[in-house]
Structures are given as structure tokens and as C-alpha cells.
């Protein structure tokens, strides 16, 4: 009965956690970084290549837009994925 009351009120032994126990139990998911080509390299690509690259990275680009707008959209999307 006394041991029950001690455990209820926390008078008994205290359990200490070590940092290594916490880190071992915590699983981290790390996404791989995407290499973002420079704006100059992307400007040398055709619109079709930019659209294909966009599809590979999970964004659908509209080829009716100008190449500069396609490059901007694609770079913005790829940089957001890296964060």
C-alpha cells in the first residue's frame, strides 16, 4: 500500500532520461536535396525540356507562357522543395 502511494505521488525513484535515449527513439526523415540548375543553364533549354524537367519534379508547366516565366516558376518550385 505504501509503495503504491509513493509511486502515485512520485516519491520513489525518478526515471532520468538521457539525451542519447531521446535521440535513439526519434526518427528523422531527411529529404534529398535537389540540384537546382542556374538560371543561365535553364535559359539555354527549350520550352519542351523545361516542361519535361518540371514534370520530373512534380510541377506542370504551361508551354504557352514565355520561357522566362517557365524558368522562374520551375526555379521557385525547386527551391521551395529544398527548404
Convert the pLDDT of each residue in 28-77 to its tens digit. 677 778 888 999 999 999 999 999 999 999 999 999 999 999 999 999 99
Whole-prediction pTM: 0.61
Count up the domains in the chain and report the number. 1
Rounded CA separation 7/51 (Å): 64
pLDDT score at 12: 62
pLDDT score at 22: 67
Rounded CA separation 27/8 (Å): 32
pLDDT score at 33: 80
pLDDT score at 10: 72
* More confident: 3 or 64: 64
Residue range of the domain that includes 45: 2-82
pLDDT score at 52: 96
- Identify the DSSP state of 75: H
Rounded CA separation 83/75 (Å): 13
Closest CA to 48 of 63, 34, 64: 63
Q: Could you give phi then psi for residue 69, rounded to 5 degrees?
A: -70, -35
Amino acid at each position: 500500500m505504501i509503495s503504491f502511494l509513493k509511486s502515485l505521488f512520485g516519491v520513489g525513484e525518478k526515471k532520468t532520461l538521457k539525451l542519447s535515449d531521446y535521440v535513439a527513439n526519434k526518427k528523422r526523415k531527411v529529404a534529398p536535396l535537389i540540384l537546382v540548375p542556374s538560371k543561365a543553364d535553364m535559359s539555354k533549354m527549350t520550352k519542351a525540356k523545361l516542361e519535361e524537367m518540371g514534370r520530373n519534379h512534380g510541377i506542370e508547366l504551361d508551354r504557352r507562357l514565355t520561357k522566362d516565366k517557365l524558368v522562374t516558376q520551375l526555379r521557385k518550385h525547386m527551391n521551395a522543395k529544398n527548404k
